[in-house]
A and B are shown apart, each in its own frame.
Chain A
Amino acid sequence: MTAPAVPEEEIVSTLKGQLGNALKDARVERRGRISVIPLRETVREVAASLQRLGFDHAIAVAGVDYPNEKSIEVVYLVSSYSHDELKHIVLSLKVQVDRESPRLPTLTTIWESANLFEREAHEMFGVNFEGHPNLQKLLLQDNWEGPPPMRKDVTFPELA
């Protein structure tokens, strides 16, 4: 099977075909960058489809806090080692979760490399990844009792 001429377009159309209304949006930003926005309830289904397409590992999990929109956006960046035509692509899977009670099913069963990344996002933003094997403190000091430090409303004025 020959590699498609523009794999990014091919991936977006395959995803839209397979998943339909499980996706809010999927588009090609530029060469090598795709962004896929699923609904919160369908994130596992979308991730499983991506894994079947060849994206075999997660390279980062970022949380971005939007207090004005009352949501936290969790961004999974994934890429591929085993498929040559996908190696140059970084696909960002962006999910919005509610800021007051942020919950998301874990994707460590699909991408094992996301284990530590989700743990850090939990610690820094307070996002609860349901089903994660070990959501303990990773980087902060042992007796940290404050709120998740990376949220926008958490400031440390005594240090300014």
Chain B
Amino acid sequence: MSRAAPGLWVGSLRDLVKRMVGIAPLKQLVNWGRIYSLWPVHLMTACCGAELGAMMSGRYDPERYGMQAAVGAMRQSDLLIIEGTVTKKMLKRVKVVWEQMPNPKYCIAMGDCACSGGLFHDSYSIINELEKAIPIDVYVPGCPPRPEALLNAVIKLREKIRHEEVYARS
């Protein structure tokens, strides 16, 4: 057995798993697991954070969607909700959080400011085009968007995940 053989064995096992998971029932199972347990990171960027806080509370109840908010640590979450304006000073830290999250990870841009600059588009210290830094899956307009709008965004994200390939985000 050559020294390359263990690597080859692991590599061919990974290819086998990839091909198996491409089969429809297994793909549906994996995506079902991802959809029903989207855990958001606690990253309050700006004023839309107040509506995110309201969404996480009893009246709108995101736990029935599997969004358990109590964890909060970035290495154990898979959903980054960027609410509010991202300033140039904050951008580096948002990217650090994004890079620390394990794959597969999703991002929702909440609020007008995260989508396109919003009310502060002519300020000297904010980022207007966030999608150049972080790939965004769902945009939620509003200033601030109502909690129902944010839950609607989560539902649309689930639809998007349901139809995705399992290894699309590796």
- A: residues with CB less than 8 A from B are 140-142, 149, 156, 159-160
Contacts and interface: CB of A to CB of B under 8 A. Distances in A.
Interface of B: 87-89, 121-125
Interface of B is mostly: loop
Contacts, number: 15
Contacts of B87: 141
Contacts of B89: 140-142
A141 B124 CA distance: 10
Contacts of B88: 141
Nearest to B120: A159
Q: Please list the 4 inter-chain residue pairs (A to B) with the smallest Cβ-Cβ separation, ordered nearest first.
A: A141-B89, A141-B88, A159-B122, A156-B124
B20 to A, nearest CB: 48
Contact of B122 (A141, A142, A149, A156): A156
A160 B125 contact: no
B88 to A, nearest CB: 4
A16 to B, nearest CB: 43
Contacts of B124: 149, 156, 159
Nearest to B90: A141
B2 to A, nearest CB: 50
